[in-house]
Amino acid sequence: MVAAVIDGKAFAEGLRGRVAEGVAAFTASTGRKPGLAVVLVGQDPASQVYVRSKGKATIAAGMESFEHRLPETTSQEELIALVRRLNDNETVDGILVQLPLPKGIDEQAVIATIDPAKDVDGFHVINAGRLAVGEEALVPCTPLGCLMLLKDRLGDLSGKEAVVIGRSNIVGKPMAQLLLQQNCTVTIAHSRSKDLPGVVRRADIVVAAVGRPEMVKGDWLKPGAAVIDVGINRVDGKLVGDVDFASASEVAGAITPVPGGVGPMTIAVLLRNTLVAAHARAGLAPPEGL
């Protein structure tokens, strides 16, 4: 079998187009644009690239972008004071504090300060809890993007065996919750799991989010499985995923490439979450088709 390659870039472009239409409608009915504030502390080169792309995409979607760049030496108290000001700013619908934060700043304490209604990353415990109990929540962007790609490819996910490799709060755990909500039978595997190839071989759906270059091999897969590769690893100057694409694409039914798979979805979903948050804050029904 040769797997179909899932074109995340094309799907993300479509989603960004639908968000831009929703933004125009929101702006026409409320008289103001949705606003997204992004906070970057320090000089981490990868984070600088992400923050610049987020700002550009926000403006391209017709939203207001507020960028706050703070020095590496910023204290936790100063950062928390900024988040409080953004909470109180009516023109700000979404707040994203870029992670990782410099050493000495407690990430959870900062995230806990964000107004859950503006938590477009979905990292606040209130949103994690709402997702877990099946209430309306702002959901982390990367796993929500993975779910959109899976539903687009497979349709109904009910009864499917899903294996999520990785248990981070940003990807693995919310991914598992989303798949459970879709009536999948979900296994979360991680670095201490025994016989990982044996576990993965049961899966109709594999989501790899471990940060180990090309760890998942083709002979770990059930033939026809849908494989979502969240990994972004730089090896000898080249980007590779957590899945060995060459061998996996000979066994899988469908697979996301790196780059061009999950990556472009994250920012598109961030824009979507910001538009959803803006509607909720304005007392409007959620935008449709997103």
Q: Is the peptide bond preceding residue 259 cis, with omega within 30 degrees of 0?
A: yes
Q: Does 97 bind ligand GUN (CB under 6 A)?
A: yes
In terms of Cβ atoms closer than 10 Å to its own Cβ (0-12, 13-18, 19+), residue 267 is: buried
**Considering beta carbons, is residue 196 or 262 the nearer one to ligand GUN?**
262
Binding-site member from 121, 204, 242, 244 for ligand GUN (CB under 6 A): 121
Residue among 74 and 98 whose Cβ is closer to ligand GUN: 98
DSSP string across 57-98: HHHHTT-EEEEEEE-TT--HHHHHHHHHHHHH-TT--EEEE-
Q: Which position among 99, 125, 239, 280 is part of the footprint of ligand GUN (CB under 6 A)?
A: 99
- 195 catalytic? Reply is no
Placement of tokens 């049961």 in the chain: 202
Long-range contact list for 68-71, CB < 8 A, 24+ apart?
A: 68/37, 68/38, 68/39, 68/40, 69/40, 70/39, 70/40, 70/41, 70/42, 71/41, 71/42
d(CA 264, CA 266): 6
Which residue has the closest beta carbon to ligand GUN? 99
Residue 99 beta carbon to ligand GUN: minimum distance, rounded to whole angstroms: 4
Span near ligand GUN by CB under 6 A; candidates 9-17, 93-101, 184-192, 255-263: 93-101
Decide: is 70 part of the binding site for ligand GUN (CB under 6 A): no
Whether 119 sits among the annotated catalytic residues: the reply is no
Task: Determine which one of 33, 98, 118, 182 is catalytic.
Answer: 98
- Binding to ligand GUN by CB under 6 A, coded x per residue (else -) over 147-186, reads -----------------------x----------------
142 Cβ contact partners less than 8 Å away, ≥ 6 residues apart? 170, 171, 209, 230, 262, 265, 266, 269
Binding flag, residue 274, ligand GUN (CB under 6 A):
no
- With CB under 6 A as the rule, give the number of residues binding ligand GUN: 8
Q: What is the DSSP letter of 170?
A: T
- Taking the complex as a whole, the smallest distance from the CB of residue 170 to ligand GUN amounts, in Å, to 6
Catalytic residue among 121, 204, 242, 244: 121
Provide the CA 5 distance to its chain's centre, in angstroms: 20
- In angstroms, the CA 265 to CA 268 distance is 5
Interaction of residue 141 with ligand GUN, rule CB under 6 A: yes
Q: Residues 33, 54, 118, 173: which is the catalytic one?
A: 54
DSSP helix/strand/coil, 43? coil
**Is position 83 an interface residue for ligand GUN (rule: CB under 6 A)?**
no
Active site (annotated) includes residue 48: no
Q: Which of 58, 65, 74, 98 binds ligand GUN (CB under 6 A)?
A: 98
Spatial distance between the Cα atoms of 162 and 148, rounded to a whole number of angstroms: 15
Does 96 sit near ligand GUN (CB under 6 A)?
yes
The structure tokens listed for 15 are: 């989603």
The reply on whether position 262 binds ligand GUN by CB under 6 A is no
Helices then strands (H, E): number in the chain? Answer: 10, 11
Q: Which residues are catalytic?
A: 54, 98, 121
Which residues contact ligand GUN (rule: CB under 6 A)? 96-99, 121, 141-142, 170
